[in-house]
Structure 1
Amino acid sequence: MVRRLAAILAADMAGYSRLMEADEAGTLARLKTHRIELIDPAIAKNCGSIIKTGGDSLLVEFQSVVEAVNCAVEIQRRMARRNADVAPDRRIEFRIGINLGDVIAEEGDIFGDGVNLAARLEAMAEVGGICISRAVRDQLGERLDVGFEDLGEQSVKNLSRKVRMFRVLLDSDQNATPSPAPDAAAVTAAGDMPSIAVLPMVNMSGDSEQEFFADGLTEDIITGLSKFRELFVISRTSAFVYKGKTANIQNVARALGVQYILEGSVRKAGNCVRITVQLIDAATDRHIWAERYDRDLEDIFAIQDEITTTIVGILPGRIEAASQERVKHKRTDNMAAYESLLAGKVLHHRSNREANAEALRLLDRAVALDPNYAHAHAWRACVLGQSWVYSWCDDRDETWERVGEALQTALGLDDNDSDVHRILAATSIAHGDFDKATYHEERALSLNPNDDLIVVQNGELLTWLGRPEEGIEWIRKAIRLNPYHPERFWNHLGRAHFVARDYEEAITAFGRISRQDQFHHAFLAAAHALRGDGTEAAAQAAQVLEIDPNFTVEAYLATLHYKDESDLEHHRHGLLEAGLPESAARAASAERHRVGE
């Protein structure tokens, strides 16, 4: 036996039995993800050693109380951010206790009074909180940016003496709770980040009872837009100052410090309601986008939800397009971090090697300009991931490592950025970790259910999971949300129909894609073959081999992510039926046979 002085951290998950009873697989998957992404890295960063783990508990040894408490604070603060948008009954939360004391080390485990007290402190901590002993408090001094509440002398189970305890105060962390909507000063300080004010919808009905509908629609649009991290949205309080007033749009924009104004009206006539909205670039007083919605007034709340979802789905894309126009007229050397991010996103969607390289250059610039810009780190990971998927990089292992580093940085800076979780889901799909992909996709959807990129990815994930009928519904929803969607949405829709064995619809969807590489023709070859059109299947297969003479079914299937073996074999069967070579060896054999003839 070896004795030593150590800082011991004991952690326990609150409500573990209840969560496991409600959703065993989901709880374990989420807990695993928190361990991989947050808890274990925080322990390693602070030089801790995990002594043992249970299903819901953790015992960690540190050589320094500063590192032990710093680790606990990081875990609890980041877990609070992660739980901000999770239903209370589904939250994974921890209690943590920390003690400094003498321990006995034996065969990789530690025992003794110091360990027991850490466990008792953990049990007395509040959910999401940290409780420490006096020995820890005395050693800490003022080294950390946290406060402490003296809980006095407390009786502890199975200890004859009373123990003086302290609660670590985490309220000083401004990121622990969602930030309020920015005011005009905050928007002005945001520089070229797109900013918008949604003015109160005007009730044109002459019916005062419809006022609640107009106001409710306005508030819902403000709430929906506020979920997009790349938009600064003026709060309801500031926007409703202009209710019932006629004001010059440019003056309103100047007063609120915004670039864009959304205004509209509601008119009720009999059993019909007409809603008109228009988006205005205040600097030029130019209409960017306008739409009119005519609906039967059968369920006024259903109409309100439908209109809100549509407007919130379309607006960010229109604002991004308008902002991109602004970027084009500025010198590259003077781009702000956001402008670099915006240009990089546009290039990413072009999905070719040259655009990818330029996008990466711009995203590197964005994070250099603002190292704390979580969204830029996330999109940098996305662009690197694209180069990894299409083998546009010199070293795939190194590139994948860079993807992981960028995502961990983004996650550490902002656990509640929906794009961070969307991209983590995408990288998890690429590595075949479907539990992790599902967790992050659900998290992204909970943070922003109206982002077309998140919605379409959910359809893509469901397709890979062997649930294409559900996937089709989500992909079509994404297309409705964003009529200006990237062409790859048709790729996702076509693939979902293919997995559902609806080859006509699959071919129709792929027919709407202008970029036709060997993978595009290979997919069509398989679809035509399984549809029974051997002539067209052979023609598509010939185009595949003309573009890439080294193409093989084996290599192509390795780029796909089907969870069920039956879906993979279904695709393989279609490709082979079209006459495409299964492997390099068979392709060489077929070529020798052809030359011999």
Structure 2
Amino acid sequence: MSAQPEIDFELEIAHVLFIDVIGYSTLPVDDQREVTAELNRLVRATAAFRAAEEANKLSRLPTGDGMALAFFTTPEAPTRCAVQLAEALRGQSKFRVRMGMHSGPVSGVTDVNDRSNIAGAGINIAQRVMDCGDAGHILLSRHIAEDLESYRVWRPYLHPLGEFDVKHGVRLGIVNFHSDEIGNAEIPKKLTQVPPSPVITSAPKRLRWPLVWTSIALLAIAVAYFAFSGHPSAPSSSLESASPPAISDKSIAVLPFENLSDNKQNSYFADGVQDQILTNLSKVSDLKVISHTSVRQYKSGITRNLREIGQQLRVAYILEGSVQSAPPNRLRISANLIDARTDSQLWAETYDRDVADLFAIQSELAQAIANQLQARLSPAQKAEIEERPTHDLVAFELYLQAKGTIDSYIIAEDVRAALLKALQALEQATAQDEQFVLAYCYLARVHSLLYFFDLDPAANRVLLAEAAAKAALRLRPDSAEAHLAMADYYFRCQRDYDRAQSELAIARPGLPNSTPFFILSGYINRRQNHFPEAEKDFITAVRLDPRNPNAYNLLADTYVLERRFPLSDEVSRNVIAAGDDTPIVRYRQAATQFFFTGDTSPMREVLAKAPADLDVGGGETPTRVLLAILDHDYARAEQALAISPRQDFQDIDFSFYYPKAWYEAMIARAKGDLPAAQAAFAQVRAILEQRLLLKPEHARTLAVLAQVDAGLGQKELALHEAQHAVDLMPLSKDVYDGALVLESFAQVCTWTGEHDRAIELLQKLVAIPSYVNYGRLKVHPSWIPLRGNPRFEWTVASMAPKEPLRK
């Protein structure tokens, strides 16, 4: 007896396009093969198909006389594919097709030939919808039509026909998708034979039909499956996923301790005590412990409103204290545990010991706090807390200085200088104590950051990062921090995301409250196109460290990539509510509003109020230049660039630095000063060539070089370089950098007159997470050559906001 096919019952929601060739069975066999080959070619040539395939978000099911395509992105993906296929078929007479679309659950199966396939209600309903149509029809189920109705660009195409009994007695709402050029406006013949149920038309141009029992049944099946299997659901698309969480009874913030020593220069000592107590508590998985970056902002020595701090950090308890040293080697540490909800003291203790007992005191204090909060402490966690990080207090001080810098590098005015200073401190710390595992972990991380951001990509930087991570693992093979450092090395220096994920899996149990862990995990998940997982990682990082700019910027940035701008805006609102009402936070919120609406006025208002030298990481000068160019005030643009002492700047993303000459070229290009533009482009080219000597296959650098050569009029060279960059960084390898490289390719095509190819690339980018959005396409001068092109304007219009951001 042959084995039964093995079935994978994991359900996913797919957006299905079913395509059928009219009259296929009546064709001679040779004609059938020719038609099938041509249909396959036309479908594969659509930008929507290619984008989903490269992002690994597409499953294909041959059906003999057509095919079913299951897109695991958005309802727009099959719609764009159908429109692009209909455009390709227009005017040809070889064959005609009909199409049907539906969103619903599908699952993977293994067929009798041991090949992976898909099946499920999503496929079946799409076929039944399609079966209602005639040649040229694009028919939609009510379910997917209501999803598309949310997009203003699709509303004119949606023409409800009513509800009909289809195969096996299933009753479906059917919508005809057509315009003057696309689809078939006639009512399908099959549907004229059966009168439809009335369509509710109380709101013109809006689909308002009762729920059909089929949809309810499918939803019940999906809910039952997820409840039974424990499969994690995707993050909510509502504002709830960006809203503050409820306050846990087992949550705590350890605020900076006050230095009561006569020598006020010993403040580092008090900082070190607080830092280590926090680090020890963070190892307890039963607690939520706010990370260092957020609590560091509540300075000691001033009156602190603990209730307000508890609300801002979303914690039930706050630990504060003081440190006092006395000659010759005595130490007094006092600690007070406060219920932030009632501002009442629950516990207090004072420790009078020898300085040599510092780490023992910190361990005892952390365990006492865990007991007060009734937190479960495993034997492994207890052992971790009791272990001394180092026996050398000088090495510990150096480590703390570097750690603070590295954890908050994102807000440094000069990231390179800050990281190099931290590097020097860590080298001194490891020289002072060659067994200092945590210092080696941060040493590996700083080498990896310098290499990754091209800030100091010395030839031996990768080797130094690897050596430091391996040193940590050699000293402590079971160290979660050491495995985190190795994961960071694989991610930043080798771009080996799978090995990085393996190291993170080892580190995860030992770092339940580690913001750096969740940030790195989110980074990697995002690049591997695991956006729901990345979103969860960044949400966790923000909840553990609500005032950490790296954490909340990454969460907001992820929503920008997904074009979920209201959620990105909500992140900024929450940050401001948590006490970080700063010019840079306001600026990044305004940038999100620009991406969403194309309105530059919020950015203008924020920059007008901000300090003139606001330029965190070199991120604001490019916006000042852009706004001046949009105003045709080129003198102001040149002045904004000239007054900055920086020589390189970040632009749309936080991982690439553009030379100053790049913006000089943009200004000259906007002015129409071709000689000045080409002179500036030549300077940029020389800088990028130097970078490529150290990283010859760095796709982002090569992609920007292609843009430079396009600006220099070297069309063939630019196109070749852009294609090479795409080949080095395909979407399947890294959807984040892959999309940025693809956008550069689109820019090259725009500047070299290959406008159709540019629009195809942009349409592909619109179908995946990327920085291509309504505001940038509508406003940015780089896309001026495409303005007025109907396909480009249609693409821009398809991303127009459906509703305003909340006030």
TM tier relative to shorter chain: 0.3 to 0.5
Q: Which has the larger radius of gyration?
A: 2
Which of the pair has the greater relative contact order for Cα pairs under 8 Å at 6+ separation?
2
